[in-house]
């Protein structure tokens, strides 16, 4: 594996995790090399011993764009060994003041993405990170839609915790170098991007641009979302991990956000029950009373229809999938 020398002239370091992403990796690499910036940046592309030719495509781009693309090619899979690739392999090589991310099956669709976020963070020193909207591309249907709202705003810890999600896609974030290595409680296997968002919003302010600048491919073969969301039992196990993580974060924050985190934990139990179609049990469970009361009308109606008129909901879901 190559070790790279640090370069103080580089302002942004980006890392891309790839594994058997041969059908998608060119889009990610094109998104990297096509960025128009006033500063130097580098992209570490980590291939975790792919077997489908992903590494060869990465080498091709590295040869063509040696000042940008820095391949880190494994001969043995590191994920299966429990290695935290960013912490143990990539971060020690990075030179940038800011760090960006894009997985190998996603891509950036705006050539001003890095410049826009870099300029914001340079001007706003009290912000830990900058993010933006992403387009979600359904790999099964080909349909596309924005993942989040179209208005610029600040993302708050309370919003992230209660929602049980990051409020941005991982491909959108640019954060300050000092937030790259998170405290242990903000790591939990299989929990996805949620812990990072909790850490960034608890460490400083996070800006969100409503402008779409990246694309998230949903449902790619072997992806985390395909493995988790298509299996109610695995999803329930994920929620147990998330509850444990939230309890540890509550301790880390000295219980300053205890009420918010308690609501977030109830949300985890709720999502696990919904994934397993326990709609009537949810409506009868005392711990969900406030949670349901605070829901918007659309979600509340959906819950009651799933509990007492499931045929109507089945027809509705068939229609929207077409």
Which of residues 71, 104, 137 is at a domain's end?
Answer: 104
**Average pLDDT, integer, range 304-309:** 90
Residue 28 has pLDDT above 80, yes or no: yes
| pLDDT tens string 149-196 | 999 999 999 999 988 777 899 999 999 999 999 999 998 766 668 899
pLDDT of 231 reads 78
Helix (H, G, I), strand (E, B) or coil at 161: helix
Estimate the share of the chain in helix, then strand, then coil, as percent rounded to the nearest 5: 45, 20, 35
Q: Give CA–CA dist 211/152, Å, rounded.
A: 8
Position 156 scores a pLDDT of 95
The distance from CA 78 to its chain's CA centroid, rounded to whole angstroms, is: 20
β-bridge mates for residue 73, sequence order: 47
Per-residue confidence (pLDDT) for residue 225, from 0 to 100? 57
Phi, psi of 91 (to 5 degrees): -55, -40
- Alpha carbons within 13 angstroms on the beta-carbon side of residue 316 total 9
Closest CA to 295 of 262, 259, 271: 271
- At 164 the pLDDT is 74
Residue 215 covered by a domain: no
- In the chain, pLDDT over 90 holds for what percent of residues? 74
Q: How many domains does the chain have?
A: 2
Give the pLDDT confidence score for residue 82 in this predicted structure: 87
Report the percentage of the chain scoring pLDDT > 70. Answer: 92
- Rounded distance between C-alpha atoms, residue 129 and residue 20, angstroms: 29
Q: Which span out of 109-118, 139-148, 296-305 was modeled with the highest average pLDDT?
A: 109-118
Whole-structure pTM value: 0.88
Q: Is the pLDDT at 320 greater than 60, yes or no?
A: no
pLDDT of 232-276, one tens digit each?
A: 888 899 899 899 999 999 999 999 999 999 999 999 999 999 999
Domain's final residue, options 69, 104, 139: 104
> What does the chain come to in residues?
322
Q: How confident is the model at residue 9 (pLDDT cuts 50, 70, 90)?
A: very high
Token pair for residue 51? 């077997």
Tokens of 199: 């850490």
Among the candidates 86, 104, 122, a domain finishes at 104
Residue 296 included in any domain: yes
Return the structure tokens found at 279: 């709609």
pLDDT tens digits, one per residue of 187-234: 876 666 889 999 999 999 999 999 999 999 987 765 555 556 567 888
Is residue 200 a part of any domain in this protein?
Answer: no
Backbone phi, psi, residue 210, to 5°: -75, -10
Task: List Cα–Cα distances, 131 to 48, 95, 179, 208, in angstroms.
Answer: 26, 21, 14, 5
Q: CA 172, CA 231: separation in Å to the nearest integer?
A: 27
pLDDT of 120 strictly over 60: yes
Question: Is 92 inside a domain boundary?
Answer: yes
What is the per-residue DSSP string for 206-258? EEEEEEEEEEEEET-TT-HHHHHHT-HHHHHHHHHHHHHHHHHHHHHTTTTTH
* Residue 297 belongs to a domain: yes
The answer to whether position 99 is within a domain reads yes
- According to DSSP, residue 180 is labeled S
Query: The tokens of 146 are what?
Result: 């924005």
Which pLDDT value is given to residue 322? 53
Q: How far apart are CA 32 and CA 68, in angstroms?
A: 8
What is the domain-level CATH number for residue 52?
A: 3.90.550.10
Token couple for 270:
């709720």
Terminal-residue alpha carbon distance, the chain: 46
> Is residue 210 a part of any domain in this protein?
no
**Residue of 309 and 166 predicted with greater confidence:** 309
DSSP output for 96-158: -SEEEE--TT-EE--TTHHHHHHHHHHH-TTEEEEEEEEEEEETTT--EEESS-SS-EEE-HH
Ranking 5-19, 97-111, 253-267, 290-304 by mean pLDDT, the lowest is 290-304
Q: What is the mean pLDDT of residues 43-53?
A: 96
Q: Are strands 107-108 and 127-138 parallel, antiparallel or unpaired?
A: unpaired
Rounded to whole angstroms, how far apart are CA atoms 265 and 246?
A: 7
Question: At 262, is the secondary structure helix, strand, or coil?
Answer: helix
Q: How far apart are CA 279 and CA 290, in angstroms?
A: 16
**Above 70 in pLDDT, residue 141?**
yes
Read off the DSSP letter of residue 86: I
Q: Which of 42, 15, 159 is nearest to 100 (CA)?
A: 15
Residue 243 domain-assigned (yes or no): yes
As a whole number, the mean pLDDT across the chain is: 91
- Supply the range of the domain harboring residue 50: 9-104
User: Is the sign of the CA dihedral 225, 231, 232, 235 positive or negative?
Assistant: negative
């Amino acid at each position: 594996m190559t070790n790279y020398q640090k370069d103080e002239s580089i302002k942004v370091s980006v890392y891309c995790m790839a594994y058997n992403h041969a059908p998608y990796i060119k889009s990610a690499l094109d998104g990297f090399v096509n960025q128009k910036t006033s500063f130097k940046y580098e992209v570490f592309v980590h291939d975790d011993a792919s077997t489908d030719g992903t590494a060869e495509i990465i080498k091709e781009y590295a040869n063509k764009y040696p000042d940008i693309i820095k391949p880190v090619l494994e001969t043995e899979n590191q994920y299966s060994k429990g290695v935290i690739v960013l912490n143990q392999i990539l971060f020690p090589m990075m030179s940038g003041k800011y760090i960006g991310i894009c997985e190998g099956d996603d891509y950036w669709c705006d050539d001003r993405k890095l410049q826009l976020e870099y300029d914001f963070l340079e001007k706003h020193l009290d912000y830990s990170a900058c993010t933006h909207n992403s387009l979600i591309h359904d790999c099964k249907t080909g349909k596309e839609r924005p993942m989040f709202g179209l208005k610029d705003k600040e993302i708050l810890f309370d919003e992230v915790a209660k929602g049980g999600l990051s409020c941005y896609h991982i491909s959108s974030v640019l954060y300050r170098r000092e937030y790259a290595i998170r405290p242990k409680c903000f790591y939990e296997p299989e929990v996805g991007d949620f812990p990072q968002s909790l850490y960034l919003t608890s460490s400083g302010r996070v800006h969100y641009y409503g402008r779409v600048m990246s694309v998230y491919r949903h449902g790619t073969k072997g992806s985390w979302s395909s493995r988790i969301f298509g299996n109610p039992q695995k999803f329930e196990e994920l929620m147990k991990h998330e509850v444990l993580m939230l309890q540890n974060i509550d301790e880390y924050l000295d219980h300053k956000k205890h009420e918010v985190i308690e609501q977030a934990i109830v949300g985890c139990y709720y999502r696990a029950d919904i994934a397993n179609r326990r709609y009537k049990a949810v409506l009868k469970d005392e711990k969900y009373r406030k949670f349901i009361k605070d829901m918007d009308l659309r979600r509340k109606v959906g819950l009651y229809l799933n509990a007492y008129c499931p045929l109507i909901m089945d027809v509705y879901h068939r229609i929207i999938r077409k």
